[in-house]
Chain A
Amino acid sequence: MSEFEFLRNVTVGQYLPTNSPVHRLDPRTKLLLALLVVLAATSTTSPLATLLLLGVLGGVTGVAQLDARYVLRGLLPVAPFLLFLMVMQLLFQGRFSLCSTVWYEWHFVRVTPCLLELVLLGALRLLLFLFVLSLLTLTTTAAYLLHGIEQLLGPLQRIGLPVHEFALANIIALRFVPTIAEELERVAKAQVSRGGEFGGEPWYRPDRVARARLPLLVPLFVNTLRRAEELVVAMQARSYLGAQGRSRFVELRLRPADWGALLLGGALLLLVWRLA
């Protein structure tokens, strides 16, 4: 792969289209379900219930026709942090454990069944949150997530929160990511062609790194600001005058499948509460 190519084809929130029933759900449904699962996980202290939730997410992965290994590989980068967290908890949390049975004690380290449960639960929860998040982005395009958020938070617009502006600004940001990445690539290449170096400064000289990056950032900033200015004019030319009086083209409709999924989610939450 070329040294410049990492700048190309930037994907934000990896989306894998398989056109499964999960993909076809309304983004609002998926956002609410994700919230339900997170709520369920945080409101239970039972590792069994947490495992059950993980199992359900595994099932969803299957229904979404995603390769479980692919999803898990996305979680791999957090494994060291997870491990570190578990070790720290194991070492320092024991003293506050309420259990009377003690399996092992050495100075301040105290291992009890409750502690083990706590450590396991913490790790499972973290895994679960990441799993939910990646399922959400793998099955929903960022644009649709934003449309979903915009409509879910729509009522807040009435009390003056700029929900529409927030959603539009984010959509525009998404739209410009590949454009600006391409631009960065071109500026970097142009500079190398003029005898500049791309990379290769020693890491212990941040001043030199900054000095070398400056020629890259100046045109990028200038061009991005110029683009922004042109975009504003283009939007005005198309009668954009803010959220007021504006209608919406993208139609989000809750279908029977969405209601079914939400009911299942609710049932799951109740089941988890019963288990606790």
Chain B
Amino acid sequence: MPPILRVENLHHTYSRQGPPVQALRGVDLTVEAGEYVALLGHNGSGKSTLARHLNALLLPDQGNVWVRQWNTRDPAHLRAIRSTVGMVFQHPDNQIVATIVEEEVAFGPENLGLDRSEIRRRVDEALAQVAMQPFRHRAPHLLSGGQKQRVCIAGVLAMQPQVLLLDEATAMLDPQGRRDLLALVARLHREQGVTVIAVTHFMQEAIDADRVVVLHEGRVALQGPPRWLFQQPEALRALQLDLPPASELAQALHRRFPAFPADRLTPEEVAIAVQTYRPLQPAPQSLPPLLPPPPRPPPLLELQHVAHFYMRGTPLEIQALSDVSLAVHPGEIVGVLGATGSGKSTAIQHCNGLLRAHAGRVRVLGQDLSDPKVDLRAVRRAVGLVFQLPETQLFEQYVGDDVAYGPRTLGLAHAQVRRRVQAAMAAVGLPFATFKDRVTWTLSGGEMRRAAIAGVLALEPQVLVLDEPTAGLDPQARQLLLRQLLDLQAQGCTLVLVSHNMDELASLCHRLAVIAEGRTALTGSPAEVFAQPALLRAFGLELPAMAQISEQLHSKELLPPTAAFYTLTQAEATISQLLAGPGKEPG
């Protein structure tokens, strides 16, 4: 059988605005029907450009792209090509056309000119495949992010494509939404033989693929099955990518114990490898007790039994929060977890008085915000709030001006504004001298995000609250941002992080609060919170990869419950004790 996609010496240069950017410089790639290919690469590596060539959204400057037997340059086959390769994008909000779910799914088949009974049959079938039939008459904006993305997939499936092309389709979803979507894609691939091409920043997602293709500077830099590819950590790091967490642990253990297989990719595989490793130390029965938490100064920021209603006093009233409590002490990093729609974004908007508690109280720096005498502007200076995708809120032409907005609004003197802007930009790793006169929209995604955070830092807040700070960033930008957040904390800034990324929260936070259905469902140290896997999963969350390994080792009775771990360092140390073999005392 001929390959379903064939790319030959593909070049593409963007020259519409500004200096020409060479996005692709000679890509060769063949995809066989029924393959599952993951496309990795840092931001600007050309992977989205390549994806857009695969269904003729872009045409080659040089080279050729064939979909089945059709060359994408031939406009006569445009409809055939685009219905063969169905594409799902990152932001569901920006790809939905209609105001009703079933009309949205019908949009593609309508464009193919199918007759009505056939469209209806396909809409029914597509909605059934993504389990969205109960929502067929809903308005899309009332759905969650994961549900919207499933509707988008249904819209593509209704065109009966042979190739499903996902362009970072999971980037904005919560753990449950992502898990459901990946399971759906895996099922379509397995049961219906759909060819899948997944562009992603998440290394874990590449594990499901038959083959991983890494793009770098517009060329294919590395490709192979994931098990082989993730054994090349140096090569991957040079390409600005990282390893799936379980793989990183397996390789660390392999370095210490050469008999331990380095090619394990998932938490399950690592747990099984530990179980079958011989000689194996019997489970350590006692471990040093956990240190008691240090005495803490009174909280800087405290929500006590906060409730909040939207559209209060109208027939459309919705209770968003029923009972949320959260205390943030000076110098801490507190993580807030929760599925989409759990109320966590509503909760953090109480931290600086953007929303008023309808019940309960909010105290900031010892002041009760319900007191009308409290100066809200002072509160907002003390508690800096960074919203999701803060780069979409930049409004000045030059980075320096945008960062200066806050201090200027405070009415500070010029020299002081300058000092604050310099300090804020330095704190996020954007040197003032080089970046102050850069035009905001010429920055890379990661730089824009950091510039936006600098805009809040310029107010010199005592507490910085960040909503999904790393969402949508590539691995390197993510690492850099996290390092800078840790630096900030070291300089005395208290942090509250709202995130879907369990691995991130596990490695950074001193304490965690889980919000579910509008209330604080669970609080405690990461160890305490991650000791409740069943509860977390019921709330649409997941354990960090390391805690999953820990959980599996418990169930195999290789570890006592007191020896739970959730970070890479802990995992390496604990499992090393198990692997050290009899005769050696764990130390």
- Where the two chains meet, the residues of A that have a C-beta atom closer than 8 Å to any C-beta of B are 1-2, 4-5, 8-9, 141-143, 168, 171-172, 174-175, 178-179, 183, 186-187, 189-197, 214-216, 218-219, 222-223, 226-227, 230-231, 233-241, 245-251
Taking a contact as CB atoms under 8 Å apart, the answer to whether B159 and A238 are in contact is: yes
Tell me the bound Cα distance from A213 to B83 in angstroms. Answer: 44
Residues of B contacting A1 in the complex (Cβ-Cβ under 8 angstroms): 311-313
* 20 examples of A-B residue contacts, CB within 8 angstroms: A1-B312, A1-B313, A8-B310, A9-B316, A189-B385, A190-B385, A192-B354, A193-B352, A194-B405, A195-B407, A223-B392, A233-B52, A234-B89, A237-B55, A238-B155, A240-B107, A245-B79, A246-B113, A249-B103, A249-B116
Q: Is B237 an interface residue (CB 8 A)?
A: no
Determine whether the beta carbon of B393 is less than 8 Å from that of A186: yes
| Neighbour of A248 across the interface among B116, B123, B140, CB < 8 A | B116
Bound-state Cα–Cα, A237 to B97, Å: 12
CB-based contact B311/A172 at 8 Å? no
Q: Which single member of B82, B112, B310, B385 contacts A237 (CB below 8 Å)?
A: B82
- For B52, the closest partner residue in chain A by CB is A233
Task: Flag if B311 contacts A5 (CB, 8 Å).
Answer: yes
In whole angstroms, how far apart are the Cα atoms of A227 and B90 in the complex? 12
How far is B142's CA from A262's CA once the two chains are assembled, in angstroms?
35
Closest Cβ neighbor of A197 among chain B residues: B409
Q: Which of B141, B312, B313, B456 contacts A194 (CB 8 A)?
A: B456
B177 beta carbon closer than 8 Å to chain A: no
Cβ-defined contact, A230 with B94, below 8 A: yes
- Chain A nearest CB: distance from B266 CB in Å? 32
User: When the two chains form their complex, are residues A179 and B310 in contact, meaning their CB atoms are under 8 A apart?
Assistant: no
- Which of chain B's residues have a CB closer than 8 A to the CB of A216? 395
| 0 or 1 for each of B109-149: is its CB under 8 Å from A? (1 = yes) | 11111111001100100000000000000011100000000
Q: Is the CB of B395 within 8 A of A248?
A: no
Cα A91 to Cα B359 with chains together (Å): 56
* Contact (Cβ within 8 A) B395 A218: yes
Give chain B residues whose Cβ lies under 8 Å from the Cβ of A231.
Answer: 94-95, 97
Contacts A193-B380, A194-B406: A219 and B392 contacting too (C-beta < 8 A)? yes
Q: Is B569 an interface residue, CB under 8 A from the partner?
A: no
| 18 additional A-B residue pairs with CB within 8 Å, beyond A175-B140, A190-B390, A239-B79 | A5-B310, A143-B100, A175-B99, A175-B141, A179-B141, A186-B388, A189-B349, A192-B354, A193-B386, A195-B380, A195-B381, A216-B395, A219-B393, A237-B82, A238-B111, A239-B111, A249-B119, A249-B120
Taking the closest CB of chain B, its distance from the CB of A231, in whole angstroms, is: 5
Q: Which residue of B lies closest to A236 (CB)?
A: B57
Please report the C-alpha to C-alpha distance between residue A246 and residue B113 in the assembled complex, in whole angstroms.
4
A234 touches B354 (CB 8 A): no
